[in-house]
Homo-oligomer: A and B are copies of this chain.
Protein backbone atom coordinates (compact mmCIF):
# COMPACT_ATOMS: atom_id res chain seq x y z
CA UNK A 1 0.00 0.00 0.00
CA UNK A 2 3.03 2.26 0.16
CA UNK A 3 2.87 4.52 -2.82
CA UNK A 4 5.42 3.61 -5.43
CA UNK A 5 7.34 6.88 -5.28
CA UNK A 6 7.70 6.86 -1.55
CA UNK A 7 8.93 3.34 -1.64
CA UNK A 8 11.49 4.06 -4.36
CA UNK A 9 12.77 7.05 -2.44
CA UNK A 10 13.16 5.01 0.68
CA UNK A 11 15.03 2.27 -1.11
CA UNK A 12 17.35 4.81 -2.69
CA UNK A 13 18.00 6.37 0.71
CA UNK A 14 18.92 2.93 1.99
CA UNK A 15 21.25 2.43 -0.92
CA UNK A 16 22.93 5.77 -0.39
CA UNK A 17 23.18 5.14 3.33
CA UNK A 18 21.05 8.15 4.26
CA UNK A 19 18.67 5.76 5.93
CA UNK A 20 19.90 2.71 7.83
CA UNK A 21 18.48 -0.74 7.23
CA UNK A 22 16.89 -0.78 10.65
CA UNK A 23 15.28 2.60 10.10
CA UNK A 24 13.98 1.55 6.72
CA UNK A 25 12.67 -1.65 8.22
CA UNK A 26 10.94 0.28 10.91
CA UNK A 27 9.44 2.77 8.45
CA UNK A 28 8.15 -0.02 6.27
CA UNK A 29 6.49 -1.40 9.37
CA UNK A 30 5.81 1.77 11.29
CA UNK A 31 2.38 2.32 12.78
CA UNK A 32 0.04 4.34 10.62
CA UNK A 33 -2.62 4.08 13.26
CA UNK A 34 -3.14 5.47 16.72
CA UNK A 35 -3.81 2.64 19.12
CA UNK A 36 -6.27 3.60 21.87
CA UNK A 37 -7.02 0.11 23.20
CA UNK A 38 -10.70 0.33 22.31
CA UNK A 39 -9.96 1.82 18.87
CA UNK A 40 -7.27 1.66 16.22
CA UNK A 41 -7.57 5.06 14.56
CA UNK A 42 -6.78 5.12 10.85
CA UNK A 43 -4.38 8.05 10.40
CA UNK A 44 -3.71 7.76 6.70
CA UNK A 45 -7.29 7.56 5.46
CA UNK A 46 -7.07 11.02 3.97
CA UNK A 47 -3.82 10.26 2.16
CA UNK A 48 -5.19 6.96 0.92
CA UNK A 49 -8.76 7.84 0.12
CA UNK A 50 -8.97 11.62 0.02
CA UNK A 51 -11.39 11.80 2.94
CA UNK A 52 -10.81 12.01 6.67
CA UNK A 53 -12.06 9.16 8.80
CA UNK A 54 -15.52 9.88 10.21
CA UNK A 55 -16.52 8.70 13.68
CA UNK A 56 -19.56 6.41 13.92
CA UNK A 57 -21.05 7.45 17.24
CA UNK A 58 -23.42 4.56 17.91
CA UNK A 59 -22.02 1.88 20.23
CA UNK A 60 -19.27 4.14 21.51
CA UNK A 61 -19.23 5.92 24.86
CA UNK A 62 -18.71 9.72 24.93
CA UNK A 63 -15.32 9.02 26.47
CA UNK A 64 -14.33 6.78 23.59
CA UNK A 65 -15.51 9.38 21.06
CA UNK A 66 -13.57 12.10 22.84
CA UNK A 67 -10.47 9.94 22.82
CA UNK A 68 -10.72 9.33 19.09
CA UNK A 69 -11.39 13.02 18.41
CA UNK A 70 -8.32 13.97 20.38
CA UNK A 71 -6.13 11.40 18.66
CA UNK A 72 -7.20 12.69 15.27
CA UNK A 73 -6.73 16.32 16.22
CA UNK A 74 -3.26 15.52 17.52
CA UNK A 75 -2.43 14.02 14.14
CA UNK A 76 -3.47 17.20 12.39
CA UNK A 77 -7.08 16.64 11.44
CA UNK A 78 -9.02 19.75 12.46
CA UNK A 79 -12.41 19.09 10.89
CA UNK A 80 -14.28 16.13 12.33
CA UNK A 81 -17.68 14.59 11.79
CA UNK A 82 -19.47 12.31 14.27
CA UNK A 83 -22.59 10.51 12.99
CA UNK A 84 -25.33 8.63 14.86
CA UNK A 85 -24.68 10.83 17.87
CA UNK A 86 -27.48 10.87 20.41
CA UNK A 87 -28.41 14.19 22.07
CA UNK A 88 -27.17 12.82 25.40
CA UNK A 89 -23.73 12.06 24.01
CA UNK A 90 -23.65 15.38 22.14
CA UNK A 91 -24.34 17.11 25.44
CA UNK A 92 -21.39 15.30 27.00
CA UNK A 93 -19.13 16.40 24.15
CA UNK A 94 -20.34 19.99 23.97
CA UNK A 95 -17.07 21.39 25.33
CA UNK A 96 -15.03 20.09 22.41
CA UNK A 97 -13.48 23.05 20.55
CA UNK A 98 -15.65 24.47 17.79
CA UNK A 99 -18.28 21.75 18.22
CA UNK A 100 -21.80 22.02 16.78
CA UNK A 101 -24.66 19.53 16.91
CA UNK A 102 -27.59 19.06 14.51
CA UNK A 103 -30.23 17.16 16.48
CA UNK A 104 -32.49 16.15 13.56
CA UNK A 105 -29.55 14.64 11.67
CA UNK A 106 -27.94 13.38 14.91
CA UNK A 107 -24.64 14.66 13.59
CA UNK A 108 -21.88 16.50 15.43
CA UNK A 109 -19.22 18.60 13.71
CA UNK A 110 -15.91 19.97 14.96
CA UNK A 111 -14.24 22.73 12.98
CA UNK A 112 -17.07 23.69 10.66
CA UNK A 113 -17.68 23.03 6.97
CA UNK A 114 -15.33 23.72 4.04
CA UNK A 115 -16.23 25.69 0.91
CA UNK A 116 -17.77 23.49 -1.78
CA UNK A 117 -15.26 22.34 -4.39
CA UNK A 118 -17.16 19.65 -6.31
CA UNK A 119 -18.24 19.55 -9.94
CA UNK A 120 -21.82 20.59 -9.23
CA UNK A 121 -24.66 20.20 -6.78
CA UNK A 122 -25.72 17.16 -4.78
CA UNK A 123 -29.53 17.18 -4.82
CA UNK A 124 -31.22 15.36 -1.94
CA UNK A 125 -34.88 14.42 -2.37
CA UNK A 126 -37.19 12.73 0.15
CA UNK A 127 -40.46 10.93 -0.34
CA UNK A 128 -42.00 12.32 2.84
CA UNK A 129 -41.52 14.40 5.93
CA UNK A 130 -40.50 11.43 8.04
CA UNK A 131 -37.50 10.76 5.81
CA UNK A 132 -35.93 14.13 6.61
CA UNK A 133 -33.61 12.98 9.46
CA UNK A 134 -31.87 10.57 7.09
CA UNK A 135 -31.72 13.21 4.39
CA UNK A 136 -30.17 15.68 6.79
CA UNK A 137 -27.47 13.18 7.79
CA UNK A 138 -26.68 13.00 4.08
CA UNK A 139 -26.83 16.75 3.61
CA UNK A 140 -24.43 17.54 6.45
CA UNK A 141 -22.04 14.79 5.43
CA UNK A 142 -22.00 16.03 1.85
CA UNK A 143 -21.34 19.57 3.06
CA UNK A 144 -18.56 18.30 5.32
CA UNK A 145 -16.91 16.72 2.29
CA UNK A 146 -17.07 19.94 0.27
CA UNK A 147 -20.25 19.66 -1.77
CA UNK A 148 -22.98 22.15 -2.56
CA UNK A 149 -26.31 20.68 -1.41
CA UNK A 150 -29.88 21.32 -2.63
CA UNK A 151 -32.88 19.91 -0.77
CA UNK A 152 -36.18 18.68 -2.29
CA UNK A 153 -38.19 17.37 0.64
CA UNK A 154 -41.58 15.58 0.65
CA UNK A 155 -41.89 15.05 -3.11
CA UNK A 156 -43.11 11.42 -3.06
CA UNK A 157 -44.71 9.79 -6.05
CA UNK A 158 -48.25 9.71 -4.65
CA UNK A 159 -48.45 13.37 -5.75
CA UNK A 160 -46.31 13.23 -8.84
CA UNK A 161 -46.63 16.92 -9.78
CA UNK A 162 -44.64 17.81 -6.66
CA UNK A 163 -41.69 15.97 -8.13
CA UNK A 164 -42.26 17.05 -11.74
CA UNK A 165 -42.34 20.71 -10.76
CA UNK A 166 -38.78 20.32 -9.51
CA UNK A 167 -37.56 18.91 -12.81
CA UNK A 168 -35.10 21.74 -13.41
CA UNK A 169 -33.37 21.21 -10.09
CA UNK A 170 -33.12 17.50 -10.73
CA UNK A 171 -31.74 17.90 -14.22
CA UNK A 172 -29.00 20.22 -13.07
CA UNK A 173 -27.70 17.92 -10.39
CA UNK A 174 -24.30 16.23 -10.52
CA UNK A 175 -25.78 13.43 -8.48
CA UNK A 176 -29.18 12.90 -6.86
CA UNK A 177 -29.71 11.19 -3.52
CA UNK A 178 -33.25 9.77 -3.33
CA UNK A 179 -34.32 9.11 0.26
CA UNK A 180 -37.57 7.21 0.71
CA UNK A 181 -39.25 4.64 2.90
CA UNK A 182 -42.45 2.67 2.32
CA UNK A 183 -42.18 1.27 -1.22
CA UNK A 184 -39.24 3.44 -2.23
CA UNK A 185 -40.67 4.24 -5.68
CA UNK A 186 -39.06 7.69 -5.60
CA UNK A 187 -35.75 6.23 -6.74
CA UNK A 188 -37.28 4.55 -9.78
CA UNK A 189 -39.14 7.63 -10.89
CA UNK A 190 -36.15 9.95 -10.45
CA UNK A 191 -33.97 7.32 -12.09
CA UNK A 192 -36.15 7.61 -15.18
CA UNK A 193 -35.96 11.43 -15.29
CA UNK A 194 -32.30 12.37 -14.91
CA UNK A 195 -29.03 11.68 -16.68
CA UNK A 196 -26.75 11.84 -13.67
CA UNK A 197 -26.06 9.03 -11.17
CA UNK A 198 -28.78 8.38 -8.59
CA UNK A 199 -28.06 7.09 -5.10
CA UNK A 200 -31.02 5.46 -3.41
CA UNK A 201 -31.36 5.45 0.38
CA UNK A 202 -34.15 3.26 1.71
CA UNK A 203 -35.45 4.45 5.07
CA UNK A 204 -37.11 2.60 7.88
CA UNK A 205 -40.17 4.84 7.55
CA UNK A 206 -43.38 2.84 7.19
CA UNK A 207 -44.94 -0.06 9.05
CA UNK A 208 -46.17 -3.59 8.51
CA UNK A 209 -45.02 -4.93 5.15
CA UNK A 210 -42.49 -2.11 4.92
CA UNK A 211 -40.57 -4.32 7.40
CA UNK A 212 -38.32 -1.57 8.70
CA UNK A 213 -37.06 -0.50 5.31
CA UNK A 214 -36.88 -3.90 3.65
CA UNK A 215 -39.65 -3.15 1.14
CA UNK A 216 -37.94 0.06 0.07
CA UNK A 217 -34.55 -1.67 -0.05
CA UNK A 218 -35.74 -4.52 -2.25
CA UNK A 219 -37.70 -2.13 -4.43
CA UNK A 220 -34.74 0.16 -4.97
CA UNK A 221 -32.48 -2.78 -5.82
CA UNK A 222 -35.08 -4.06 -8.28
CA UNK A 223 -35.83 -0.65 -9.76
CA UNK A 224 -36.79 -0.80 -13.42
CA UNK A 225 -34.71 2.32 -14.06
CA UNK A 226 -30.96 1.71 -14.41
CA UNK A 227 -28.10 3.82 -13.10
CA UNK A 228 -29.09 3.59 -9.45
CA UNK A 229 -26.75 2.61 -6.63
CA UNK A 230 -28.31 1.61 -3.33
CA UNK A 231 -26.90 2.04 0.17
CA UNK A 232 -27.99 0.56 3.47
CA UNK A 233 -31.30 1.42 5.14
CA UNK A 234 -31.17 4.88 6.76
CA UNK A 235 -27.54 5.28 5.67
CA UNK A 236 -27.50 8.96 4.79
CA UNK A 237 -23.80 9.09 5.62
CA UNK A 238 -22.85 6.39 3.14
CA UNK A 239 -24.95 7.93 0.39
CA UNK A 240 -23.28 11.28 0.85
CA UNK A 241 -19.80 9.76 0.87
CA UNK A 242 -20.51 8.08 -2.44
CA UNK A 243 -22.12 11.24 -3.81
CA UNK A 244 -19.10 13.28 -2.83
CA UNK A 245 -16.74 10.92 -4.57
CA UNK A 246 -18.85 11.12 -7.71
CA UNK A 247 -19.01 14.89 -7.46
CA UNK A 248 -15.22 15.01 -7.19
CA UNK A 249 -14.43 12.69 -10.09
CA UNK A 250 -11.42 13.91 -12.02
CA UNK A 251 -10.38 13.21 -15.57
CA UNK A 252 -7.49 10.72 -15.83
CA UNK A 253 -5.67 9.88 -18.98
Contacts and interface: CB of A to CB of B under 8 A. Distances in A.
Interface of A: 1, 4, 7-8, 11-12, 14-15, 17, 21, 24-25, 28-29, 31-33, 37-40, 42, 44-45, 48-51, 53-54, 56, 58-60, 64, 119-121, 127-130, 132, 153-162, 164-165, 167-168, 172, 174-175, 181-185, 188-189, 191-197, 199, 202, 204-235, 237-238, 241-242, 244-247, 249-253
Contacts of A207: 58, 232-235
Given A24-B11, A48-B195, A157-B192, A217 B209 contact: yes
18 contacts: A1-B160, A7-B28, A8-B25, A12-B21, A38-B132, A38-B153, A42-B159, A42-B162, A49-B227, A54-B226, A60-B129, A158-B224, A159-B192, A181-B222, A197-B245, A228-B242, A229-B230, A230-B231
Contacts of A127: 224
Contacts of A49: 192-195, 227
A15 B16 CA distance: 7
Q: Determine the main DSSP class of A at the interface with B.
A: mixed
| Copies of this chain, count | 8
Given A14-B15, A207-B232, A50 B195 contact: yes
A252 B176 CA distance: 14
Contacts of A215: 215, 218-219, 221-222
A253 to B, nearest CB: 8
Contact of A189 (B31, B189, B238): B189
A119 B156 CA distance: 32
Given A58-B130, A208-B222, A21 B28 contact: no
A149 to B, nearest CB: 14
Nearest to A53: B159
Given A60-B130, A205-B59, A159 B196 contact: no
Contact of A160 (B11, B128, B153, B189): B189
A222 B209 contact: yes
Given A229-B231, A234-B207, A183 B184 contact: yes
A228 B238 contact: yes
Contacts of A29: 165
Contacts of A157: 157, 185, 188-189, 192, 224-225
B224 A241 contact: no
